[in-house]
Amino acid sequence: MIENMIDIHSHLIPNIDDGSDTLEESLTLLKMAADDGITRMVLTPHIHLGRYINTRTSIQFEYTKLKRAVADKGINIELAFAAEVRLDSEIIALVEEKDIPLFGPYDNKQYLLLELPHGHIPVGTTRLIEYLISLNIVPIIAHPERNRELLKAPVKITQIARSGCLFQITAGSIVGKFGAKCEALAIEYLEQGFAFAVATDAHNVKHRPPILSDARRRVVKLLGESIAQDLFYNNPNKISRMLFD
């Protein structure tokens, strides 16, 4: 077993987004993560205006119940929470009201897991990223390798990267769970050095399980142990350390 990996992207708080449906399912998934060698997990429910209306307060309420159940069951995994925020101009108001749970602080900055729509990169994306950075909030773009516009034109990631954001690659993409094209793009972005972290984006047992070890083994083969350690532990630890008490 590979020990000591930190997952910064998952949907395991029951019944507040399209992730786990029940407390039982969440406990099964968290046990699965612990057995895979994940020692710390940041739970990141969707904040998607018009679809998943979560806030810092509502997430914390459900998170606290889950955390108690995990302790009662004796599952050996440390938990914290943040959110995955769908890109939308209205998130500026939520950020300014401090109603979005962020990662950090690290290096005097906070970090926001930002989700693009799956089909395209909206006009104004880089402007929004630059605005967030001006507030000392660095966006981490979730799974760019799954975005259809980037799949068609991978080089477009350089324009986004120039605005100063970071990128999270999904473990399942690296091992082919989302098809050959996503796999190839995940590997390409890893080799080009765009990835800041690899995470599970776990939703359920079947299609998106909380497993990092197989992707880590592949990254070790491709890029070596030191880069794997950065992507699966060191970088996730930098931005999440302050969230775990």
Q: Which positions touch Fe ion (CB under 5 A)?
A: 84, 201
Give me the least distance between CB of 68 and Fe ion, in Å please.
24
Integer Cα distance of 183 and 59 in angstroms: 32
Q: What are phi and psi of 188, to 5 degrees?
A: -60, -50
Residue 100 is classified by DSSP as S
Question: What string of DSSP letters covers 175-235?
Answer: TTTT-HHHHHHHHHHHHTT-EEEEE--B--SSSS-S--HHHHHHHHHHH-HHHHHIIIIIH
Residue nearest to Fe ion (CB): 201
Q: Would you say 7 or 230 has its CB closer to Fe ion?
A: 7
Min dist. Cβ of residue 172 to Fe ion (A)? 11
Closer Cβ to Fe ion, 145 or 201, answer by number: 201
Nearer to Fe ion, 7 or 84 (CB): 84
* Tokens read off for 178: 């989302």
CB of 171 to Fe ion, least distance (A): 12
In this complex, which beta carbon is closest to Fe ion, that of residue 104 or of residue 210? 210
Q: How far is the CB of 161 from Fe ion (least distance, A)?
A: 20
